[in-house]
Amino acid sequence: MTVNEARGPAIHVQGLEKSYKELRVLRGVDFAVARGSIFALLGSNGSGKTTVVKILSTLLKADAGTAGVNGFDVVTRAADVRESISLTGQFAAVDEILSGRENLVLVARLRHLKDPGAIADGLLERFSLTDAGARRVSTYSGGMRRRLDIAMSLIGDPPVIFLDEPTTGLDPQARLEVWQAVKELAGRGTTVLLTTQYLDEAEQLADRIAILHEGRIIVNGTLAELKQLLPPAKVEYVEKQPTLEDVFLTLVGDNGKTGKTGKTGKTGKTGRHGQDRNVGTDA
């Protein structure tokens, strides 16, 4: 590996394919994530988001294509990739019987870091868990658990972190807290790839947003670029900018779900299924 490659994008994915038996989940996925940025992978249930995250974190082998993380190929340099990342899975991986602080100390010990106690206290403070630190995790709310889970994934300062649906099931306040934590991470130079089904989460957090649909990335761009894909909708006298939700539903097809949130309902959308769009320049 040359120095140049090491300075390239934090995450690089090309032509990724993955099937589970007959089910072709990924059919040629391409994207890149710039260092220190937040990249949101959006997609409906079952679109393959977790599959992408598992391949990038070396838990799963792709059938075809290449993927690199922090300059290391996920197949040939899997150990280096694992050293470069942390993964916060879709389901919280904290130990219920231990206290929050004990969970953090445990991970710091496993990573052979000096002064696990100080690391734990620093993270408890950063994630507003100091008061709850001594309590068993089984008494934590969903939001506290999530924050602890993210705090655990930061031990050892990995340059790249994967957050698979970090706020699913959280109430609005807890979501805001997690968002704050994620923004702070990126502010410190960590690269964040998050998957989400919440369009407002992507709007709030991501520098770039990619939509995974039917095995491919059908759009990839900044929020502003994605919004430009739809002309502003004329609603009577008011000119309204399309929301990310409009863009998403138009591109993905709403499968009869329009009206679920009451935010859409405009007519005359053109189907753009299956079209590859990469807006703007690649990071």
Nearest approach in angstroms of CB 19 to Mg ion is 17
CB of 47 to ligand ATP, least distance (A): 4
Binding mask 15-54 for Mg ion (x = CB under 5 A): ----------------------------------xx----
Pick between residue 102 and residue 203 the one whose CB is nearest to ligand ATP: 203
Indicate the SS3 state at residue 202. Answer: helix
Our CB check for ligand ATP shows the closer of 20 and 239 to be 20
Binding residue count for Mg ion, defined by CB under 5 A: 3
- CA pair distance 240, 253, nearest whole angstrom: 21
Q: How many CB atoms lie within 10 A of CB 231?
A: 10
**Site string (83-122) toward Mg ion, x via CB under 5 A:** -------x--------------------------------
Strand partners, 19: 24
With CB cut-offs between 5 and 8 Å by kind, which of Mg ion, ligand ATP, none does residue 99 bind? none
**Rg value, the chain, Cα:** 20
**Residue 247 one-letter amino acid:** V
20 binds, among ligand ATP, Mg ion, none (CB under 5 to 8 A by kind): ligand ATP
Q: Beta 11-20 vs 23-33: how paired, if at all?
A: antiparallel
SS3 content of the chain, % helix, strand, coil (to 5): 35, 25, 45
Q: In the complex, what is the shortest distance from the CB of residue 162 to ligand ATP, in angstroms, rounded to a whole number? A: 12
Residue 223: other Cβ atoms inside 10 A: 18
Out of ligand ATP, Mg ion, none, what residue 71 binds, judged by CB under 5 to 8 A for its kind, is: none
DSSP H or E run through 54: helix 49-56
Nearest partner of 163 among 38, 18, 33, 73, judged by Cα: 38
Compare residues 216 and 227 and give the one whose CB is closer to ligand ATP.
216
Judge whether 134 and 101 are in contact, CB under 8 Å: yes
Q: What tokens appear for 261 in the block? A: 């949130």
Residue 250 touches which member of ligand ATP, Mg ion, none, C-beta under 5-8 Å by kind: none
Residues binding ligand ATP (CB under 6 A) = 20, 23, 25, 43, 45-51, 90, 197
Question: CB of 59: closest distance to ligand ATP in angstroms?
Answer: 11
